[in-house]
Amino acid sequence: MFYIYCPYCGEHREEEEFHPKGQAHIERPKDPEACSDEEWGNYLFFRNNPRGVHHEMWVHAVGCRKFFNVTRHTVSYEILETYKMGEQPSITADSQKQPREPAAVSHQEGVRA
């Protein structure tokens, strides 16, 4: 069971209030007509599926109903941070390789599933 911090509500809530919505930070091609089949297929169907740090969207379905982003580890399931749409993650797979500063995850620590 996750205990997720909604950056819009500013509160931790239980997983059942949320739905996962897949990989975050996907940009729709500016001019779809100009895409090759490969580019369009990649945009539609190909997702990062890392064994490690993953940036994903969740929606606070029975709360504020807003989408937001979560950085989560896909093996430990630990939620490393949550942040609003349009913001960039402060924790990435690369930054994870260095030792983490404890302050960076302060009150947003997720409960392990």
| 62 near other proteins (CB under 8 A) | no
The correct pick among 25, 47, 84, 100 for binding other proteins (CB under 8 A) is 47
Q: Contact at 8 Å (CB) between 6 and 60?
A: yes
72 makes contact with other proteins (CB under 8 A):
yes
| CB 17 to other proteins: min, Å | 10
Q: Which helix (H) or strand (E) holds 22?
A: strand 19-23
CB of 84: closest distance to other proteins in angstroms?
Answer: 19
Site string for other proteins, 11-30 (x = CB under 8 A): ----xx--xx-x--------
Sequential DSSP letters for 51-103? SSEEEEEEE-TTTT--EEEEEEETTT--EEEEEETTPPPS--HHHHHSPPPGG
Burial class of 68 by CB neighbour count within 10 A (0 to 12, 13 to 18, 19+): buried
| Bridge partner list, 13 | 4
From residue 73 to residue 92, what is the string marking binding to other proteins with x (rule CB under 8 A)?
Answer: -xxxx---------------
Q: Is 1 in the site for other proteins (CB under 8 A)?
A: yes
- The residue ranges that bind other proteins (CB under 8 A) are 1-2, 15-16, 19-20, 22, 37-38, 40-42, 44-47, 49, 51, 54, 56, 72, 74-77, 113
